[in-house]
């Protein structure tokens, strides 16, 4: 059985975006069953978990003695098991993998820089000064990506692991209006959002966070006390 690690809970702004979502989505598209190993901040620092994921992050992937980390590497591994995610021809497979790397290296770093300024440092003066240039750089990358996509539904003409990763990265911008200025990319991202496998992956991740929401624990404890 495949096992992936996931956080027990994260703040609301990150829910639906934590990188185990990408692996969940790939597994759902591939029709592969899996289970989750839920961790918290103390687990992240433990020697046992660091032996599986040296940086203490999620996701970690275990399967029959194989241990992987980094979402890009994991989804490529899963895609190799799936006709849905990986084309059958060598050229198509190579192109799909190149789009995974493009998402992670050519797009995500700009998305993350821009988003981090708003998520974590919105009230900092240095962040206010950095934001215009970060947005300019991101817009330049999104322009190039939209030009590359053109009038195609998907980057390679059909849905692949490359689209899964690129759409996952673009979803980070969901709390902004940036994609409104890039109608091709907005429609592309919405195309991914409409896939049943994505909906299932998001729902499963959110269900974990709802079940472990620390803000609800005191209320539940009081209810138990009153009913005793």
Q: For the chain, which residues make up each domain, given as ranges?
A: 2-83+197-211, 90-195
* pLDDT tens per residue, range 173-207: 998 999 999 999 999 999 999 999 999 999 999 99
pLDDT of residue 122: 86
2-83+197-211 and 90-195, same CATH topology: no
Instruction: Kindly tell me if the per-residue pLDDT of 227 is higher than 90.
Output: no
- The full DSSP string for 70-96 is SHHHHHHHHHTT-TTTS-SSHHHHHHH
H helix or E strand, kind and range, residue 6? strand 2-7
Determine contact, residues 9/209, Cβ cutoff 8 Å. yes
Q: What is the DSSP letter of 224?
A: H
Architecture category of domain 90-195 in CATH: Up-down Bundle (1.20)
The 10s digit of each residue's pLDDT in 94-152 is 999 999 999 999 999 999 999 999 888 988 999 999 999 999 999 999 999 999 999 99
Provide the pLDDT confidence category of residue 91 given band limits of 50, 70 and 90.
very high
| pLDDT at 11 > cutoff 60 | yes
How far apart are the C-alpha atoms of 67 and 61, rounded to whole Å? 6
Q: Which residues have C-beta within 8 Å of that of residue 31, sequence separation ≥ 6?
A: 82
| Rounded CA separation 59/217 (Å) | 26
- What pLDDT shows up at residue 225? 37
Query: What is the reported pTM?
Result: 0.92
Q: What sign does the CA torsion over 177, 183, 187, 189 have?
A: negative
β-bridge partners, 6: 38
The domain defined by 2-83+197-211 folds into Glutaredoxin (3.40.30)
Mean pLDDT score, 197-221: 87
- Please give the torsion angle defined by the CA atoms of residues 83, 89, 94 and 95, in that order, rounded to the nearest 10 degrees: -80
| Helix/strand/coil for 175 | helix
DSSP class of residue 39 equals E
């Amino acid at each position: 059985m495949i096992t992936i690690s996931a956080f027990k809970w994260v703040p609301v702004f990150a829910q639906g975006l934590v990188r185990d979502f990408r692996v969940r989505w790939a597994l759902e598209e591939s029709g592969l069953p899996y289970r989750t190993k839920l961790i918290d901040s103390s687990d992240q620092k433990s020697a046992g978990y660091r032996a599986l994921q040296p940086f203490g992050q999620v996701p970690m992937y275990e399967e029959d003695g194989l241990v992987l980390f980094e979402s890009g590497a994991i989804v490529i591994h899963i895609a190799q098991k799936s006709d849905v995610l990986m084309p059958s021809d060598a050229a198509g497979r190579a192109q799909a993998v190149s789009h995974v790397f493009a998402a992670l290296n050519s797009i995500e770093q700009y998305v993350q820089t821009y988003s981090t300024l708003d998520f974590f440092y919105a009230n900092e003066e240095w962040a206010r000064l950095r934001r215009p240039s970060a947005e300019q750089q991101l817009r330049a990358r999104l322009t190039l990506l939209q030009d590359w996509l053109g009038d195609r539904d998907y980057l390679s003409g059909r849905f692949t692991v490359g689209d899964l990763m690129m759409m996952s990265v673009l979803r980070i911008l969901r709390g902004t209006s940036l994609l409104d200025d890039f109608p091709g990319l907005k429609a592309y991202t919405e195309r991914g959002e409409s896939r049943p496998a994505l909906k299932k992956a998001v729902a499963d991740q959110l269900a974990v966070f709802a079940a472990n929401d620390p803000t609800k624990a005191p209320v539940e404890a009081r209810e138990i006390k009153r009913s005793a």
